Structure 1
Amino acid sequence: MSHVFKGKVMWAHLDANMHMRHSAYADFAAQARIEILDELGLSMKVFQKLHIGPILFREETTYLREVGVNETITVTTELLKSKKDGSRWAIRHELFKEDGVKAAVIIVEGAWIDVLKRKLATLPDELADHFMHIRKSADFEEIA
């Protein structure tokens, strides 16, 4: 599944230098992830019912261009790495300015957590299969 999220940079997203603050990039990427999970049948309601949710171990952002207020940015999402069962994964987001120039690349590494036991978990097989429908990157790697 290919997914593109579009969002408008608001005043609240700006820093003292009048461009998008570093944490706003992460917020746009997080929203893109939540939307694609929802489209795949992995909604917040499903996670709450299962007492499972996504957890990040690492987030790395490479900033390439400044983004200003009222710009509409486009965020792409692709699966970079994953265990075969989808229990551990890495996702790459690319954020583009309105003119198509790449503004940032965000890579997150994560897994699923049982929020009651506070331990790593796996998704039920059907949902894991849904998760694995995120578009795989050209350099996708299956991890052991």
Structure 2
Amino acid sequence: MEENVFYEGQIIWAQIDANRHLRHSAYADLCAQARSNMLRDTGLSLDRIAEINIGPVLFREELVYLREIHLNDEVRVTVVMTKYNTTNSRFSFRHEIYRSDGTKCAVVTVDGAWMDIEKRKLTVLPKEWQAIVVHLPKSADYEEVTT
């Protein structure tokens, strides 16, 4: 569980819903920050990517709730790539959110691609950056496709 942790932090009041647990959209926020940290740590910071007018876009986000997370809980978020298309740079990532006691509380899976911010069309990462993608953390069930 400790492997591939890219976000750690305390749950704050603004992230809590009327039922006194983590609100649904806060899960997505935690995972987005973990993904951003993971990309930065491997050499593909969102700032660097934006310099060439590229940004990530998500097509699908699936959240599976397992256990509640409450105010002041400390959480850790792991990120691994589960699928990557080397032809069109589409990607899938799986995030797991854990409380500090080790309890897995949620699994969030996202599918996306890279978008040319000016043209507003899907694009690929530059060839020289593919070597960085190779070093992103991969899941045990990682799949690489070329179609």
TM-score (norm 1): 0.94
Q: How does 1:1-144 map to 2 (within 5 A)?
A: 2-84=4-86, 87-143=89-145, 144=147
Q: Structure 1: 5+ residue runs without aligned partners?
A: none
- Kept after mapping to 1: 8 A contact 2:6/2:37: no
SS at match of 1:32: helix
Aligned sequence identity (%): 47
- Kept after mapping to 1: 8 A contact 2:31/2:108: yes
Distance in 1 between the 2:54 and 2:90 partners? Answer: 14
Count, aligned residues: 144
CA RMSD of aligned residues (A): 1.5
Task: Look up the equivalent residue of 2:78 and give its one-letter code.
Answer: T
Distance in 1 between the 2:15 and 2:31 partners? Answer: 13
CA deviation string 1:27-50 (max 9, x = no partner): 000000001111122123212210
Task: Look up the equivalent residue of 2:98 and give its one-letter code.
Answer: F
Distance in 1 between the 2:131 and 2:88 partners? Answer: 8
TM-score (norm 2): 0.92
Q: Measure how far apart 1:127 and its partner are.
A: 1.8
Distance in 1 between the 2:26 and 2:142 partners? Answer: 26
Distance in 2 between the 1:103 and 1:85 partners? Answer: 34
Instruction: Give the 4+ runs in structure 1 shifted more than 2 A.
Output: 1-4
SS at match of 2:51: helix
